[in-house]
């Protein structure tokens, strides 16, 4: 797996981690674990009046009972009650079969201090059971150890460095044609971005890596616009990106969520790798020209 694939799959994982809630997150977790521990991890589904016995998955090799919690919004009182109820419920249902209990959550920031203190109290009161927390970094580590064919099953096909190298006008044309055209500003901002722009936008390593990969084909995009018969075509595309970026910023999405939404806007979150590579090259081109995201020097939309 090359650097381009690593960045694409890393960002696909993050988008799924942020997007899936409730039962959908439980299913996502089970699929990642099923690939990561084939023949060992067993997903558990509710059945009949006894439900799931306070278990969303079981790993026989170390006796781990997994319990996931992925609400739309994490509220402290509900979180603490959930931890307490699920641990003691699992202990009652699984007894000595449960040698380890893992609480799986979907908060990118990690658990609050009170929840970590609750975990410490449970460990002290139950020394025979190992108690762990699985969040974004732990689940991502499992996912990114998977083979390419497993990641393809989870997240679909993505471009490789070879795909980027083979990118041509034929792949760029339908992507640019599909982006909605809008009237350009009278005096669009043309200031080049500062070198600190990636850091200023708090983009993840994966998103930043993809933009760097896209820059390898920046010259191709520039030549495409230069050869296009309508000299204003590039500015129409830039304005479409600017306006969509402003809408995404207005609803307070995070940097990587905005990155993913802009990919979708340009038509590149799915489809053949060649199309995704074309979208990446176009996004990188406009990122470098301050049409999307912020410039570190001004702190304002570029």
> In the predicted model, is pLDDT for residue 95 greater than 60?
yes
Task: Report which of residues 4 and 178 the model is more confident about.
Answer: 4
- CB count within 10 Å of CB 170 equals 9
| pLDDT number for residue 183 | 42
What are the sequence ranges of the domains in the chain? Answer: 3-143, 159-288
> In the predicted model, is pLDDT for residue 191 greater than 60?
no
Task: Provide φ and ψ at 58, rounded to 5°.
Answer: -135, 135
Q: Is 250 exposed, middle or buried (0-12, 13-18, 19+ CB in 10 A)?
A: exposed
Task: Give Cα separations from 113 to 76, 116, 130 (angstroms).
Answer: 10, 5, 19
| pLDDT number for residue 51 | 56
Q: Does domain 3-143 have CATH number 1.10.238?
A: no
For 142-150, what is the mean pLDDT? 97
Q: What is the pLDDT of residues 192-241, one digit of tens each?
A: 334 455 556 678 889 888 888 888 888 899 999 999 888 888 888 888 88
Q: What is the pLDDT of residues 26-60, one digit of tens each?
A: 999 999 999 999 999 999 876 644 556 889 999 99
| pLDDT number for residue 246 | 86
Average pLDDT, the chain: 86
> In the predicted model, is pLDDT for residue 261 greater than 90?
no
Which range has the top average pLDDT, 164-173, 193-202, 208-217, 269-278? 164-173
Q: How far apart are CA 274 and CA 291, in angstroms?
A: 23
Q: How far apart are CA 225 and CA 218, in angstroms?
A: 11
Return the CA Rg of the chain: 23
| pLDDT number for residue 201 | 65
For 237-261, what is the mean pLDDT? 84
Nearest to 224 by CA among 281, 181, 148: 281
């Amino acid at each position: 797996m090359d650097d381009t694939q690593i960045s694409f799959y890393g960002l696909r994982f993050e988008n799924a981690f942020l997007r899936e809630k409730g039962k959908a997150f439980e299913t996502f977790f089970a699929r990642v674990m099923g690939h990561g521990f084939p023949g060992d991890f067993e997903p558990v589904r509710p059945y009949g009046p006894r439900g799931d016995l306070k278990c969303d998955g079981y790993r026989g090799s170390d006796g781990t009972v997994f319990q996931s919690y992925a609400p739309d919004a994490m509220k402290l009182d509900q979180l603490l009650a959930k931890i307490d109820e699920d641990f003691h419920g699992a202990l009652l249902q699984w007894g000595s079969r449960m040698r380890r209990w893992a609480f799986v959550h979907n908060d990118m920031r990690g658990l609050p201090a009170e929840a970590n203190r609750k975990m410490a109290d449970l460990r002290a009161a139950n020394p025979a059971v190992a108690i762990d927390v699985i969040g974004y970094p732990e689940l991502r580590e499992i996912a990114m150890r998977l083979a390419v064919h497993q990641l393809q099953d989870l997240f679909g096909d993505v471009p490789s460095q070879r795909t980027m190298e083979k990118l041509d006008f034929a792949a760029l044309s339908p992507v640019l044609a599909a982006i909605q055209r809008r009237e350009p500003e009278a005096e669009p901002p043309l200031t080049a971005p500062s070198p600190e722009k990636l850091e200023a936008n708090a983009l993840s390593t994966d998103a930043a890596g993809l933009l760097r990969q896209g820059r390898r084909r920046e010259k191709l995009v520039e030549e495409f616009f230069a050869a296009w018969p309508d000299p204003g075509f590039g500015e129409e595309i830039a304005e479409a990106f600017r306006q969509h970026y402003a809408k995404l910023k207005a609803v307070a999405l995070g940097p990587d969520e905005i990155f993913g939404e802009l990919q979708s806007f340009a038509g590149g979150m799915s489809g053949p790798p060649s199309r995704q590579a074309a979208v990446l090259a176009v996004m990188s081109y406009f990122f470098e020209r301050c049409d999307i995201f912020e410039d570190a020097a001004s702190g304002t939309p570029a």
